[in-house]
Amino acid sequence: MMQGKIALEEHTAVPESLEDSKAFHPHDWEQIYERLVNIHRSMIAEMDEAGVALSILSINSPAIQGIADRKKACELARRSNDYLAEQVAKRPDRFMALAALPMQDPDAAARELERCVKQCGFKGALVNGYSQIDHPDTAYYYDLQMFWPFWATVESLDVPFYLHPRDILPSRRQSFEGHPWLCGSPWTFGIESATHALRLMGSGLFEKYPKLSIILGHLGENLPHCIWRLDHRMSRIPLGYDGKQKLGYYLRNNFYVTTSGNFNTAALTNAISTMTVDRILFSVDYPYESMTHATGWFDGIDTVSESDRGKIARGNAEKLFKLGSAKKAAFA
């Protein structure tokens, strides 16, 4: 078993966000609840068994993004980040954190990210997809001009932004009516995140802020598989595309993808081929996935060299999150 792995899509919750996870896990909620809340017992035990040295914590989905009231979103984001900081302080040898942000107020989100990075030592942000603002039946995506000053702050802080999935609004699920099994993590999570990522690529955002680093889970929400087809068709039918480069350029230069919840060797091979191994990061998606399941698959892949396995397991994360030599030594 490879020791010293870094996992970076690993979740916990505050009391106000617990019901968000229960809605997607009614049949195994007791187990999920235990693993989501008692991270110092449950998560660390699984980490030890799976050879995971460090988990970078974040708040579950949709949490802050599902609060239409701007003031309440700002308040819960701060409480959530204070909670994350407390958990990291208890076990700084095993945990780091990504900030929850109230994107309902882009200026407040920028200030909260700066606080979390500069005062709390957080390694970036994880935001659960689009935000509802002022009314529950709204969806604001972060390619919109109102968010560009926020992106300037992200770039200036030089930290990554994890674009994590959330479900499509109920009012926009007409194509899934009668098929509830398509909603949530099996299908609509990935569609929502991939579309959001494409909006960022096609908006001109990365021309304005070329140093931005965006992380996608689940081996890229199917984008590495689809990107050639997208660029091929866009070259013939651009239809108002504002990017100066092909979509594949942004995927290879501004995005990273993690293995979270997609323990499939063919998908990993495709992501490596499309983006290079330097853009792939190990993750689990705890507590919704098992640490031992993820690492049993990852450690057993025979089509990846040991050098590349080390990059995916921890080397790429060490570079992206600028982990110091002391932390590296602890992973040995």
Q: What is the pLDDT of residue 24?
A: 84
| Ramachandran angles phi, psi of 58, nearest 5° | -150, 165
**Under-70 pLDDT residues of the chain:** 325-332
Q: What is the pLDDT of residue 181?
A: 93
Q: What is the pLDDT of residue 174?
A: 95
Instruction: Provide the residue count of the chain.
Output: 332
Q: What is the pLDDT of residue 23?
A: 83
Q: Which of 285, 299, 302, 308 is catalytic?
A: 285
User: What gap in Å lies between CA 250 and CA 260, rounded to an integer?
Assistant: 21
Bridge partners of 164, per DSSP, are 128
Q: Domain 5-331 carries which CATH code?
A: 3.20.20.140
| Cβ atoms within 10 Å of 24's Cβ, excluding its own | 16
pTM: 0.96
Q: What is the pLDDT of residue 331?
A: 47
Q: What is the pLDDT of residue 327?
A: 52
Nearest to 11, CA basis, from 261, 220, 183 = 261
Crossing angle of helices 247-254 and 265-275, in 10° steps, is 100
Helix (H, G, I), strand (E, B) or coil at 98: coil
Is 137 an annotated catalytic residue? no
